[in-house]
């Protein structure tokens, strides 16, 4: 299991994890504090969601992803900086490439570019993006063209790409970034026909989410391997990542307390189907099985995120057993 790496998702408000703090400055500082602690505890990266308003309808703080990462670049020294994942509908891909290159320079070569087709129609419409909300097929076609634009612009100082939805014409992007050979592109999603083929064609990493069943990952990665063979790309060139929410506590009583607000009528087993739930010993087994299924990199959201106890417990008692 050598080489397994870990990322931490920071509290930024989308999951209603900053509402216990009333002052926006204090809220932002809480997010930064968790980022610094993740770096101190040995996480390889920190991540933010690319959402503009809370997952539910509450009027709560949500900090914008890319501007927050720019601030985090100057508040940290080692951790890489990623997004789960940038919604392609929200920014022109040429502008996004420029943003990623700027973040890479600001961080001394620590930027990751996560990209996805987007899914939150409610948010899309609330923020006035063009109606109607694009159907799934169109969003995926747009994602494919966007991947062409950003990969060109992050690998060459001058790009021309002609597409139906996006195009650049002799566009200059200097710097393209500072890390070599280029800023990594991660594509999020598990669609077998289109999304995983786009990963094989363009991405340096895939991101699969919200499952604890190893069979889910085995199937998706088998599909990815076939796409890689079809396009003539080595499967091992692609970093295989997974994102999970984590409920971890040192004993069962504390774990029950932590889970209770999130069950919403579900059993613990139902919650654990899509979240990593357990004591450190139990989670070593959970994540070990996912490593055996082919996952190399985990990006984790810890509940009660600003308290730091869960992240600290995981870093000291789970990560050393699997790294």
Above 80 in pLDDT, residue 1?
Answer: no
Average pLDDT over residues 41-63: 94
pTM reported for the whole predicted model: 0.96
Question: Per-residue pLDDT tens for 84-103?
Answer: 999 999 999 999 999 999 99
Does the domain formed by 5-322 have CATH 1.10.357.10?
no
Q: Would you state the pLDDT for residue 3?
A: 87
Tokens at 5, concatenated: 């790496």
Average pLDDT, the chain: 97
Q: Would you state the pLDDT for residue 270?
A: 96
Average pLDDT over residues 205-223: 97
Average pLDDT over residues 268-291: 98
Average pLDDT over residues 221-239: 98
Question: Of 59, 61, 57, 72, which is closest to residue 24 (Cα–Cα)?
Answer: 61
Q: Would you state the pLDDT for residue 323?
A: 81
Asked whether the bond before 19 is cis by omega within 30 degrees of 0, the reply is no
Domain boundaries, the chain: 5-322
Quick one: 130 exposed, middle or buried, by C-beta within 10 A (0-12, 13-18, 19+)?
Answer: exposed
Rounded CA gap, 256 and 285, in Å? 19
Rounded CA gap, 287 and 292, in Å? 9
Question: Per-residue pLDDT tens for 11-46?
Answer: 999 999 999 999 999 999 999 999 999 999 999 999
């Amino acid at each position: 299991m050598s080489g397994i790496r870990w990322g931490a998702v920071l509290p930024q408000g989308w999951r209603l994890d900053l509402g216990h703090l009333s002052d926006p400055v204090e809220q932002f500082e809480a997010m930064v504090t968790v980022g610094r602690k993740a770096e101190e505890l040995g996480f390889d990266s920190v991540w933010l969601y690319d959402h503009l308003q809370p997952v539910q309808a509450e009027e709560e703080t949500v900090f914008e992803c890319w501007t927050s990462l720019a601030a985090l670049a100057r508040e940290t020294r080692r951790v890489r900086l990623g997004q789960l994942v940038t919604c392609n509908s929200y920014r022109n891909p040429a502008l996004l490439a420029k943003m990623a290159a700027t973040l890479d320079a600001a961080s001394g070569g620590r930027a990751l570019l996560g990209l996805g087709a987007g899914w939150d129609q409610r948010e899309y419409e609330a923020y006035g993006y063009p109606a109607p909300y694009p159907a799934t097929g169109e969003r995926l076609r747009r994602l494919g063209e966007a991947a062409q634009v950003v990969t060109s612009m992050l690998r060459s100082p001058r790009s021309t790409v002609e597409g139906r939805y996006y195009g650049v014409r002799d566009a200059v992007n200097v710097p393209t970034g500072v890390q070599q050979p280029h800023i990594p592109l991660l594509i999020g999603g598990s669609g077998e026909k289109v999304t995983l083929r786009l990963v094989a064609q363009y991405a340096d990493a895939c991101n699969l989410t919200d499952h604890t069943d190893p069979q889910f990952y085995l199937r998706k990665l088998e599909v990815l391997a076939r796409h890689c063979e079809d396009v003539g790309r080595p499967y091992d060139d692609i970093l295989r990542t997974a994102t999970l929410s984590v409920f971890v506590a040192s004993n069962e009583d504390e774990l029950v307390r932590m889970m209770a607000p999130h069950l919403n009528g579900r059993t613990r087993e139902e919650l654990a189907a899509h979240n990593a739930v357990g004591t450190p010993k139990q989670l070593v087994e959970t994540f070990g099985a996912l490593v055996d299924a082919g996952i190399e990199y985990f990006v984790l959201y810890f509940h009660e995120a600003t308290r730091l106890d869960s992240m600290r417990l995981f870093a000291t008692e789970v990560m050393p057993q699997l790294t």
